[in-house]
Chain A
């Protein structure tokens, strides 16, 4: 029966259901369990592993238990403010219908933040695509469609995109990764939780949003089955339709509801609908409070007549949320959504409507046309199920190759190739399709520093930074260390702006958990994430797992733990941006170059070199991060950039490129021969292009004494050169024209995103 209904429940799972119910499950019940016990909803393969991630700390207001996590930002006018943060994936839908998949990804993550009672203030998009050289290849269509979808949705709802990244690799040809992050701001006294609170027995469950329709049915199990071209016909009906116009109105109506509820000092529950539709959301919001629920499917606002009850119950129509409120509050919701904000005129049969009741009896009951079509124990439905899957200690794949680098390579040719490399070339053609500044709170948009920065509270100097990271080239070398680097890079990017990193989110994108190799990578990556998060005192407050990212031909993605880091500013006046500010400054490198080039752009370009991943000496790195923070606080840094893909030279180039705007003075750099600061511990190419982390900072001549004073006992700080008033990058006795280099750097993605 499961196969006929096109569900993913395994026969052992069906047997468990049969046994527990003491009867055959109804059709509605089968679909409900199929959705609720899918990997996407239940995290059955992953939840127990995730428990090893650190989730507590000084700045944690709410850890990963609800739809979003919350970090403490600071105080303003006597109120404590929190940053709400959530992180998810929409990988499989984006591979099939890139525009809608990515757009609904943004839609979903925004709802996760909204339902905590927060105003949504930013989104970020870490993306992984396949090879895009061929204009006719499917990967190119995916890469363009995804960006168009994120752009269309985020721009329309008026939420700025302030961070993100993108990598192109053939291992993502059949399985793109579309991860999305959303950020919100909320007074901590006004947080709304994702569960029905104390005393909610008898409360109303009020559904808000788009009329439920047959699109998106089968979404949750679709995300958990591997993709196979032959199955494309059966993916029909799984396309979720985005409606950012409706969402824009729902968001603003909800903000109005928040304000009214606070005036009345009512505590309620609010949760967004995602995987599992009405069933998933209503079961979880009530079970999490220790309740049951009773829903009348006939009360649901539907788009077409005659929908089968399981489609109404489990379908994943977008743009819907669910309130759990005292009956006395329901009229307020109906008035605001339906009258003040005219939802029914915005989209067909969109509205707020009461669909059910919170009950005390721990049953989850659905009725349809007068009959009970579902009645199960709610804890059995929503309780954690767990698949014990075998894993092995994932070998580090330590590459033993340490062949010496080729000598006599022309630096200018290397520069050209590194700057044009897919990991390094300018992303501006892509992100300029995103609104970076709507809401008027943007302090640093993408491209002006390593992390986006906002001043989200009008009248307050408090600021928040956001950056993402997760280099896919590292994991095949050493999964654990690759995961550590994902954390390190995200943290480093936030630190480079002068912010204090306060927390993390993660999305763990992996292959098939039923294949021991893939699952082992997952388990090992968590080790790495946990270690780095502990060392940096940045706990994970929200996250997502996306498994089964492989196609039926067995091609799996590189293990891809993707991390977002949130940083805080007490005073946005201390923010540090990337462009060089003036000639005659001193340039420092903070961070000791290593010989290891594993996963680096240089190694990819040259084809040979030390294939180990760089080590992370946490004590040293933390001291360096503290230095950067202190220097930023003392306003001693004219500019700063994290050293990342392509290494030091790319960092310098980008700091110089950012000065090359019409009518602005150009500022270039003159760097000493690397021996001056490495003393031969590494070769010059490793020094210039190595990706072992760290920062480049620009310090005015007048501030050198103060800077070197606070840098005195910090390892790995050395002077490397000066800024100059010409558009040149001079390295020792060679000089390179920055106009030409900028053109090399800007051209590749311009062709894909004209």
Chain B
């Protein structure tokens, strides 16, 4: 058992992600897609199916009519994703950027996006993917 993370996304249109996409492009950051997640971390997490079940049972996190749950391979942002955290006690917001459909953004693009828009350095910090791909 270790710390595991799940990403919860809207499967209905995500207005905030759309506006983030438009704004990044307006700032000259060439992304083709943006996906926003609520990241929920579990210390001493059970195995995958039990994790999904635990999330799906919690109405404050998940509503089958509008949410989709993805169990992450590691307790870390995926390729092309940055986690924004205000204080360590709370759940990160995950922004996953794509430079083309299905192609995660590079670390460089991700860093620009975080610095210019997604992360307020006065109160937040950005957690980037561990591998530089």
Q: Is the CB–CB distance between B15 and A232 below 8 Å?
A: no
A618 within 8 Å of B (CB atoms): no
A138-B64 CB under 8 A given contacts A245-B15, A345-B22: no
Q: Which residue of B lies closest to A242 (CB)?
A: B15
Query: Which residues on the A side are within 8 Å of B60 (C-beta)?
Result: 141
A330 within 8 Å of B (CB atoms): no
A302 within 8 Å of B (CB atoms): no
Query: Which residues on the A side are within 8 Å of B12 (C-beta)?
Result: 100, 215, 239, 241
A235 within 8 Å of B (CB atoms): yes
Interface residues of A in 84-125 (CB under 8 A from B): 96-97, 100
Q: Is the CB–CB distance between A239 and B66 below 8 Å?
A: yes
A347-B15 CB under 8 A given contacts A138-B59, A141-B59, A141-B60: yes
Q: Binary interface profile of B, 56-82, with partner A (CB < 8 Å = 1, else 0)?
A: 000110011110000000000000000
**Shortest Cβ-Cβ A-B pairs, 5 listed:** A141-B59, A97-B65, A239-B12, A241-B13, A239-B65
A303 within 8 Å of B (CB atoms): yes
Q: Is the CB–CB distance between B66 and A100 below 8 Å?
A: yes
Q: Binary interface profile of B, 1-25, with partner A (CB < 8 Å = 1, else 0)?
A: 0000000000011010011001000
Q: Cα distance A235–B63 when bound, in Å? A: 12
**Residues of A that sit less than 8 Å from B by CB:** 96-97, 100, 136, 138, 141, 213, 215, 232, 235-236, 238-239, 241, 243, 245, 303, 345, 347-348
Known A213-B13, A215-B13, A239-B65; 5 more pairs at CB < 8 Å: A97-B66, A239-B66, A241-B13, A347-B15, A347-B18
In terms of DSSP, what is the predominant structure of the interface of chain B? loop
**Residues of B that sit less than 8 Å from A by CB:** 12-13, 15, 18-19, 22, 59-60, 63-66
Pick the most buried of B13, B19, B22, B63: most chain A CB atoms within 10 A of its CB: B13
Query: Which residues on the B side are within 8 Å of A243 (C-beta)?
Result: 15
A232-B66 CB under 8 A given contacts A141-B59, A347-B18, A348-B18: no
Would you give 12 A-B contacts (Cβ < 8 Å), ordered by A? Answer: A96-B65, A97-B63, A138-B59, A141-B60, A213-B13, A215-B12, A232-B65, A239-B12, A241-B13, A241-B15, A245-B19, A347-B18
Q: Cα distance A236–B64 when bound, in Å? A: 9
Q: Cα distance A303–B15 when bound, in Å? A: 13
Distance of B63 from chain A, by nearest CB (Å): 6
In terms of DSSP, what is the predominant structure of the interface of chain A? loop
Distance of A248 from chain B, by nearest CB (Å): 12
A235-B65 CB under 8 A given contacts A241-B12, A243-B15: yes
Q: Which residue of B lies closest to A240 (CB)?
A: B12
Pick the most buried of B12, B19, B60, B64: most chain A CB atoms within 10 A of its CB: B12
Q: Cα distance A96–B15 when bound, in Å? A: 20
Distance of A645 from chain B, by nearest CB (Å): 29
Q: Is the CB–CB distance between A232 and B64 below 8 Å?
A: yes
Query: Which residues on the B side are within 8 Å of A303 (C-beta)?
Result: 13
Q: Which residue of A lies closest to B10 (CB)?
A: A241
Query: Which residues on the A side are within 8 Å of B19 (C-beta)?
Result: 245
Query: Which residues on the A side are within 8 Å of B65 (C-beta)?
Result: 96-97, 232, 235-236, 238-239
Q: Cα distance A612–B119 when bound, in Å? A: 62
